[in-house]
Amino acid sequence: MHGGKTPTGFASPNLKTGKHSKYLRLKGISDDIERHRTAEDILTQNEEIAHTRVLLEKTLYRLLSGSDIPSYKELGRIVVKMKLHARNGNQAQFTTAFGELSTMVELGAGIQSDMIEYLNLSDHLRKQIESQRKQAIENKEMVKITQTQKLLEIFITTATESLRTHVSDPKARQAILTDIANHYTNTFGGISA
């Protein structure tokens, strides 16, 4: 006995990253993947995460640009029409109404499929980012913001002292110190004492 249709893509329990999946390849997405891979967020600079984000965007785009899901009221209206045409022996009108019903059901099934794919991709992306975060913590690649800011302040203090010691021209020294302070303030919002 056959077990039915084998799940593919993110529906497959055997999928790891989807990077090499023939079911997940999309033409013309390499620029989008590169955009995500070079994002500022260190946790999402991973190629598999970038790939998943692009697939998520493409699926969301399909959902937002597609038709509305047919309502049960609409489907019911067509079924009533079909019953009326069947009862009256109007084969041509019955066939037309059946075609409308088939189109609506196929449309609804396609939208539902996209919604399921979007939810699966969202969950897969969440798991990938969480895995990346855990790995970064284990490898001590992540530093607390306060630690980073403190290191920058130590660097600025050391650079300032070094400039005062080694640059004899007061105007040049002041210009360099002003540049450092302005750059830090513009980037991080100020120097704390």
**Residue range 71-108, pLDDT digits in tens:** 889 999 999 999 999 999 999 999 999 999 999 898 88
Residue % of the chain over a pLDDT of 90: 14
Q: What pLDDT, on a 0 to 100 scale, did the predictor assign at position 102? A: 92
What separation, in Å, do the N-terminal and C-terminal C-alpha atoms of the chain show? 75
* 112, burial (CB in 10 Å: exposed 0-12, middle 13-18, buried 19+): exposed
**pLDDT per residue as tens digits for the range 100-158:** 999 989 888 888 888 888 888 888 888 888 888 788 777 776 666 777 778 878 887 88
Encoded amino acid at 120, one letter: N
Q: Tell me the average pLDDT across 10-14.
A: 55
pLDDT (0 to 100) of residue 45: 60
Q: Contact 26/58 with Cβ under 8 angstroms?
A: yes
Q: Is the pLDDT of residue 35 over 60?
A: yes
Query: What are the CB-based long-range contacts (under 8 Å, 24+) for 126-135?
Result: 128/17, 128/46, 128/48, 128/49, 128/52, 129/43, 129/44, 129/49, 132/43, 132/44, 132/46, 132/49, 133/43
Among candidate residues 190, 153, 159, 192, the one with its CA nearest the CA of residue 177: 159
pLDDT at 24: 46
Mean pLDDT (whole number) for 13-32: 52
- Residue 29 is predicted with a pLDDT of 56
Domain ranges of the chain: 27-138, 145-188
pLDDT at 95: 94
pLDDT of residue 91: 94
Q: What is the dihedral of CA 170, 174, 180, 182, to 10 degrees?
A: -170
**Mean pLDDT, the chain, whole residue set:** 75
Selected residue with higher pLDDT from 37 and 92: 92
